[in-house]
Amino acid sequence: MTNSTPPAALVTGGSRGIGRAIAERLARRGMVVAVHYARDEIAAKETVTAIRAGGGEAFAVRADFTETGAVDTLFDALEDGLREHTGSTGLDVLVNNAGVGCSGDAGHMTEADLDRVITVNVKTPVFVVQRALPLLRAGGRIVNISSAASRVAHPQIIGYAISKGALDAFCRSLAKQLGPLGITVNNVAPGLVDTDFHGDRLRGHPEAAAEAAALTAFGRLGEAADVADIVAFLTSNEGRWITGERLEATGGAYL
């Protein structure tokens, strides 16, 4: 990040939840942040506005990962935005955060549900990385947002667990490939974080929220900022010697 152009980051799913917290955190560090979203343009614009209000710079890029050509759509907009806001298409940080859930155990999950979760949570991030590689500068950082569900059995969301497990395997091999380029690759695996991801399962259901909080060592639910701070560390110079790792970020859940 010693270039004369400002450092730049792409945060997929940066419009809401954990991704928004990561986008805001990286912007506070002086990075120009591409805030990706799929459908919620208002949320993406709110994130960009919040970043600018804090003295940072950001722009929104849309691509629905379930649509054909999503990666091209994303990178066309990303490269235009980077040129406009940094004067270059160079990228320093890529955070593969966008993700969807998938409910159903092995006896009930549908093929369509599994296709969707694999497409959004695994296949698209893989090709996002492929397209990002020519843009990533030496010293670059890739972080994928995994889940506790890839470590602890979650039979009722087995398709989701499979998708995050695949992302963990991707991380390890990619880290080995990109090490010689000085690029680190790591996965951060949150436990339950209070975001829209859970719909009204936790919000408005204090008992369910308390049960989930009790699973952690600290007795509270995770917050998006808890995860964003870990991503900030991994993507900083201080995180340069960590690569190929899956960092559990669950507040000690399921110890």
Ligand X SMILES: NC(=O)c1ccc[n+]([C@@H]2O[C@H](COP(=O)([O-])OP(=O)(O)OC[C@H]3O[C@@H](n4cnc5c(N)ncnc54)[C@H](OP(=O)(O)O)[C@@H]3O)[C@@H](O)[C@H]2O)c1
Give the residue numbers marked as catalytic. Answer: 160
Q: Which of 7, 159, 190, 239 binds ligand X (CB under 6 A)?
A: 190
Binding mask 126-165 for ligand X (x = CB under 6 A): -------------------x-x------------------
b/e per residue, 31-45, with b = 16+ CB within 10 A?
A: bbbbbbbbeeeebbe
Between 88 and 119, whose beta carbon lies closer to ligand X? 119
* 113 makes contact with ligand X (CB under 6 A): no
- Structure-block tokens of residue 152: 């602890």
Q: Which two tokens stand for residue 224?
A: 């998006």
Q: What is the nearest approach in angstroms of ligand X to the Cβ of residue 118?
A: 12
Pairing of strands 246-249, 184-190: parallel
Q: By CB under 6 A, tell whether 120 contacts ligand X.
A: yes
With binding defined as CB under 6 A, does residue 37 bind ligand X?
Answer: yes
Task: Give the Cα separation of 216 and 8 in Å (integer).
Answer: 34
Q: Which is nearer to ligand X, 32 or 120 (CB)?
A: 120
Nearer to ligand X, 56 or 99 (CB): 99
Q: Which two tokens stand for residue 30?
A: 């002086």
Which of 86, 195, 235, 243 binds ligand X (CB under 6 A)? It is 195
Question: Is the CB of 5 or the CB of 154 nearer to ligand X?
Answer: 154
Binding mask 88-107 for ligand X (x = CB under 6 A): ---------xxxx-------
Helices and strands in the chain, H and E counts:
8, 7
Q: In what order do the strands lie in the sheet with 246-249?
A: 57-62, 32-37, 8-11, 91-96, 136-145, 184-190, 246-249
Binder among 17, 90, 140, 159 for ligand X (CB under 6 A): 17
What whole-number distance in Å separates Cα of residue 224 and Cα of residue 46? 16
61 contacts 81 by C-beta, under 8 angstroms: yes
**Token couple for 91:** 């990228």
Q: Is 91 in contact with 135 (CB distance < 8 Å)?
A: yes
Q: Residue 138 CB, nearest distance to ligand X (Å)?
A: 27
Applying CB under 6 A, the site for ligand X has a residue count of: 27
Binding of residue 18 to ligand X (CB under 6 A): yes
Stretch that binds ligand X, among 32-40, 129-137, 179-187, 231-239 (CB under 6 A): 32-40
Residues at the interface with ligand X (CB under 6 A): 13, 15-19, 37-40, 43, 64-66, 97-100, 120, 145, 147, 190, 192-193, 195-197
